[in-house]
Chain A
Amino acid sequence: MRLLVGIALKHLLFRKRQSLVSLLGIVLGVAFFLAIAALMQGSEKDFITRLVDNAPHITMSDEYRTPRKQPVEEVFPRAALELRNVQPLTETRGIRGYEQILSDLHRTPGTRAAAVLTGQALVSYAGRDFSVVLNGMNPEEIKGITTIENYMKQGSIDDLIIDPDGIVIGTELAKRLSLQMGDNITIVASTGQVRTFKILGLFRTGRSDYDERQTYVSLKRVQALLNRPNRANSIIIKLDDPNDAYQVAEQLEERYLYKSVSWQEASEDLLSTLTIRNIIMYTVVSTVLIVAAFGIYNVISTVVMEKHRDIAILKSMGFHGRDVQRIFLGEGLILGLLGCVMGIPLGAAIMAGLMQIRFNPPGASEPVNMPMDWSWPQFAIAAAFAIGAATVASLLPARKAARVKPVDILRGGT
């Protein structure tokens, strides 16, 4: 094998300029493949991290995926009966026995949960009504589950523990209503109940709609305002391992019957969009390497054509067809390997350069660096693709070389 590699190297070194051009193609191909793939994967991971971190991993709501079976259906499962317009047992919507479910979840290792009662309300100001969403929750529970505390500009969610008559609102709402910390705000619930809250905190997520409409209040106060005592309309759950969310949601739904949606299910369309985006991205960046592979194919084909006589001599000496094939495959492989060795550092340098670029994404309050995925699979994929492309590109001319019949060439003379 050393001999064959030696011959392959000699061939490449003898045609320095052609070899360098095809090598440059692979180097640039690997570098751009790596940089673009790392950027796309980085943005995807960043997106998923934001998705996973900012939202609950599982949301249990006061709905059923399929209507609950009526007792008569359970007693006569095979009966020819049809029940229509079944009235709910209770008129008060919400998760019944949510406290029991919560305490079960609190006992489950690796799980954090909080009950939330959400409802619409109005804020009247200067003759205008603003619609807001009241999020009733227990501040000590909510902190580990949502990231709202990270977006606090003034005050804290914890302040609601000390003063349950407080409210936390977004900076956009505060701006529209010309309110400040410590001011009072009057809320009219959909039940007609009116209550005044003191502003204990201001948050800014960067999403103007959220900052204008969402408010955080103590759960007990919202239950009273909405006239739904001992009810929560959702339980939000965070898991130590977000990847378990799908299975855990299924188990919870099976156990408590309430619709439990994992972050994967909620973002199914987004995740499938990301998959499509990945396919498009890898197709585009692979094209760069495929073009580079054509360069290798071109060089090796030319070498094979020019070397017909030498191939004939090698075979007349006693080299096997597969030896000749290995020589030319080796040439492709050497170009592919060298392309990786030189292209990966260049790609890493481009990645490092791209990471220095800071920009303001829509809705973000602070500039962020370009997200980049530095994980080893990116490097492995780029290297494997380059070596694979180089090998495939050299395979065809190598096979052609192996089939050369020495006598056909020798008969032709020079």
Chain B
Amino acid sequence: MSEVVIRTEKVTRILSGEVPVTLVRDVDVEIKRSEFVVISGPSGSGKSSLLYLLGLLDTPTSGKIWLMGQDTSSFDEDQLADVRLSKIGFVFQFHFLLPEFSALENVMLPMRRLNKLPESEVEDRARSLLVDLGLEKQLNNLPKQLSGGQSQRVAIARALANDPSIILADEPTGNLDTASSKNVEGILRELSEKHGRAVMVVTHEARLAENADRTIRIVDGRVQA
């Protein structure tokens, strides 16, 4: 049986305010290693909110999230950041690369922060990730010198920098042309199939959902059976 990397129990997230807004309610999900899971649903249904909760970017109002068997409910900000750094890789709809840094430097950043590899190895690994994603000619380009597809591939390389067990992608192809979308889809699929990572993708794209191992459909913040 495959190892469960993320498990949630009755996770609810309510935004407080004059009129409280429920983003997700009583969500129970389980994601296993090598699984390629798509989270789908209409706009505003709570797909991205669930992804942020699973990625420990947000904390649930109630319920629990286990990551690699560890209950994260008692973690403080720094512990959550440490888990994100070493175990989770994020890819967003907009690449969100740091504009002052070259493609290579953007990929090196998480490794430098983790500080487990010597600087030369950090650079070698970043270079190799970018080359694997077909960006050998864009290593030293600044984000403004990259196309949308290239930027998104740099963002994927950055997400993979610290060799995380989980990749969370929020509409990774939402801002790309068809060719680039297919390319990114292929890379994400390969990450789960060949590299054994759990990949969760929030998307509207039907094609991506068709190719997924499993689809979790969210409507009004609840998982639909």
**Chain A residues with CB under 8 A of B221:** none
Are the CB atoms of B96 and A313 closer together than 8 Å? yes
A310 contacts chain B at the CB level, 8 A cutoff: yes
Are the CB atoms of A318 and B113 closer together than 8 Å? yes
Q: For the complex, would chain A's binding face be called helix, strand, loop or mixed by DSSP majority?
A: helix
A224 contacts chain B at the CB level, 8 A cutoff: no
The residues in B between 87 and 105 inclusive whose CB is less than 8 angstroms from any CB of A are 90, 92-94, 96, 98-101
The residues in B between 203 and 221 inclusive whose CB is less than 8 angstroms from any CB of A are none
Known contacts A320-B81, A410-B92, A3 near B113 by CB under 8 Å = yes
**Chain B residues with CB under 8 A of A144:** none
Inter-chain CA distance A414–B97, complex, in Å, is 12
B10 contacts chain A at the CB level, 8 A cutoff: no
Interface string of A312-343 (1 = CB under 8 A from B): 11111111110100000000000000000000
B201 contacts chain A at the CB level, 8 A cutoff: no
Are the CB atoms of B57 and A318 closer together than 8 Å? no
Are the CB atoms of A318 and B98 closer together than 8 Å? no
Inter-chain CA distance A51–B98, complex, in Å, is 63
**Chain A residues with CB under 8 A of B115:** 3
A309 contacts chain B at the CB level, 8 A cutoff: yes
A11 contacts chain B at the CB level, 8 A cutoff: yes
Minimal beta-carbon separation of A3 from chain B (angstroms): 5
Complex partner residue of A317 from B49, B93, B109, B170, CB under 8 angstroms: B109
Are the CB atoms of A318 and B96 closer together than 8 Å? no
Complex partner residue of A318 from B58, B84, B93, B101, CB under 8 angstroms: B84
Q: What residue of chain A has the Cβ atom nearest to residue B164's Cβ?
A: A318
Inter-chain CA distance A312–B98, complex, in Å, is 11
A127 contacts chain B at the CB level, 8 A cutoff: no
The residues in B between 63 and 100 inclusive whose CB is less than 8 angstroms from any CB of A are 77-78, 81-86, 90, 92-94, 96, 98-100
Are the CB atoms of A317 and B110 closer together than 8 Å? yes
Are the CB atoms of B93 and A413 closer together than 8 Å? yes
B112 contacts chain A at the CB level, 8 A cutoff: yes
Are the CB atoms of A406 and B110 closer together than 8 Å? no
Known contacts A323-B113, A411-B48, A413-B93, A313 near B100 by CB under 8 Å = no
Inter-chain CA distance A414–B94, complex, in Å, is 7
Q: How many residues of A contact B (CB 8 A)?
A: 24
A10 contacts chain B at the CB level, 8 A cutoff: yes
Are the CB atoms of A317 and B84 closer together than 8 Å? yes
Are the CB atoms of B86 and A410 closer together than 8 Å? no
Complex partner residue of B82 from A310, A318, A406, A413, CB under 8 angstroms: A318
Inter-chain CA distance A37–B94, complex, in Å, is 53
Q: What residue of chain A has the Cβ atom nearest to residue B55's Cβ?
A: A316
Known contacts A406-B57, A413-B94, A318 near B100 by CB under 8 Å = no
Inter-chain CA distance A13–B58, complex, in Å, is 33
Are the CB atoms of A320 and B84 closer together than 8 Å? no
Known contacts A10-B100, A323-B113, A407-B52, A318 near B85 by CB under 8 Å = yes
B29 contacts chain A at the CB level, 8 A cutoff: no
**Chain B residues with CB under 8 A of A14:** 99-100
Known contacts A407-B57, A410-B52, A410-B92, A320 near B98 by CB under 8 Å = no
Interface string of B28-47 (1 = CB under 8 A from A): 00000000000000000000
The residues in B between 154 and 179 inclusive whose CB is less than 8 angstroms from any CB of A are 158, 162, 170
Minimal beta-carbon separation of A22 from chain B (angstroms): 17
Are the CB atoms of A316 and B84 closer together than 8 Å? yes
Inter-chain CA distance A411–B93, complex, in Å, is 11
**Chain A residues with CB under 8 A of B48:** 410-411
Known contacts A318-B114, A319-B113, A410-B52, A11 near B100 by CB under 8 Å = yes
The residues in A between 300 and 315 inclusive whose CB is less than 8 angstroms from any CB of B are 309-310, 312-315
Minimal beta-carbon separation of A410 from chain B (angstroms): 7
**Chain A residues with CB under 8 A of B86:** 318
Q: What residue of chain A has the Cβ atom nearest to residue B53's Cβ?
A: A407
The residues in B between 173 and 201 inclusive whose CB is less than 8 angstroms from any CB of A are none
Q: What residue of chain B has the Cβ atom nearest to residue A319's Cβ?
A: B113
Inter-chain CA distance A413–B96, complex, in Å, is 10
Are the CB atoms of A318 and B110 closer together than 8 Å? yes
Q: What residue of chain A has the Cβ atom nearest to residue B51's Cβ?
A: A410
**Chain B residues with CB under 8 A of A319:** 81, 85, 113
The residues in A between 392 and 414 inclusive whose CB is less than 8 angstroms from any CB of B are 406-407, 410-411, 413-414
**Chain A residues with CB under 8 A of B92:** 410
Inter-chain CA distance A406–B80, complex, in Å, is 12
Inter-chain CA distance A3–B48, complex, in Å, is 30
Q: What residue of chain B has the Cβ atom nearest to residue A13's Cβ?
A: B100
| Additional A-B contacts beyond A10-B101, A410-B52 (14; CB < 8 A) | A3-B115, A11-B100, A313-B98, A316-B90, A317-B113, A318-B83, A318-B113, A318-B114, A319-B85, A319-B113, A323-B113, A406-B57, A410-B57, A411-B48
Contact residues of A with B, CB < 8 Å? Answer: 3, 10-11, 13-14, 309-310, 312-321, 323, 406-407, 410-411, 413-414
In the complex, the 3 A-B pairs of residues with the closest C-beta atoms, listed nearest first:
A318-B85, A10-B100, A14-B100
Instruction: Name 22 interchain pairs, CB-CB below 8 A, sorted by A.
Output: A3-B115, A10-B98, A10-B101, A13-B100, A310-B96, A310-B98, A313-B98, A314-B98, A314-B109, A316-B55, A318-B84, A318-B114, A318-B162, A320-B77, A320-B78, A320-B81, A321-B77, A321-B78, A406-B57, A410-B48, A411-B48, A413-B93
Contact residues of B with A, CB < 8 Å? Answer: 48-49, 52, 55, 57-58, 77-78, 81-86, 90, 92-94, 96, 98-101, 109-110, 112-115, 158, 162, 170
